[in-house]
């Protein structure tokens, strides 16, 4: 999302991406969107992380109506626009790629590229965070993860 009237040069808007305060402000500012979607639109499922969100409904026409209402709400109430490149409606059976995870009606799967990233970034300080992520995605990856943990902690000595 971006401000509806984006100014360049003399009066730039926004906070640098990755800044901790930008994440906090996104949650505070977009709380109104959460309330609108959950209490007014009432989709089958709604998930938001930062400024990324998905809604799931049983029929495409319902999603198209929700899209129009969300777009109007964001512009009129919060002064925001949805990034058109990422504003898509897909059948769930094709899978949804959201935050590095592929979500299907039967479950979800961690994308291979992200599994390799976990392996390269894993250390003693962040092992607990990654364990929760891996545990949800596949028994094979969890077994590999547990093996990696034994290497990191070197419990043999």
Domain range spanning residue 148?
101-153
Residue 74 inside a domain? The answer is: yes
70-90: pLDDT as tens digits: 999 999 999 999 888 888 888
Asked if residue 25 and residue 72 are part of one domain, the reply reads yes
What's the average pLDDT block by block, 10 residues per block, for the chain (157 residues)?
51 61 82 94 89 88 94 94 87 80 76 77 71 61 57 49
DSSP state of 85: G
Give the count of beta carbons closer than 10 Å to the beta carbon of residue 115: 19
Long-range contacts of 142-148 (CB under 8 A, 24+ apart): 145/118, 148/119, 148/122
pLDDT at 7: 46
Give the pLDDT score at 153: 52
Give the pLDDT confidence score for residue 32 in this predicted structure. 94
Q: Let me know if residue 96 belongs to a domain.
A: no
């Amino acid at each position: 999302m971006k401000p509806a009237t984006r100014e360049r040069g003399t009066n730039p808007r926004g906070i640098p991406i990755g800044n901790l305060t930008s994440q906090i402000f996104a949650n505070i500012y977009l709380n109104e969107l959460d309330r609108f979607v959950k209490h007014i639109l009432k989709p089958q499922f709604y998930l938001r992380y930062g400024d990324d969100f998905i809604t799931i409904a049983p029929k495409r026409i319902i999603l198209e109506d929700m899209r129009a209402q969300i777009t109007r709400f964001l512009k009129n109430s919060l002064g925001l626009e949805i990034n058109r490149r990422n504003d898509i409606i897909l059948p769930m059976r094709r899978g949804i790629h959201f935050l590095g995870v592929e979500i299907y009606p039967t479950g979800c799967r961690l994308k291979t590229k992200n599994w390799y990233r976990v392996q390269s970034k894993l250390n003693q300080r962040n092992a607990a965070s990654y364990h929760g992520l891996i545990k949800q995605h596949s028994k094979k990856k969890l077994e590999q993860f547990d093996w990696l943990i034994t290497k990191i902690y070197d419990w043999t000595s």
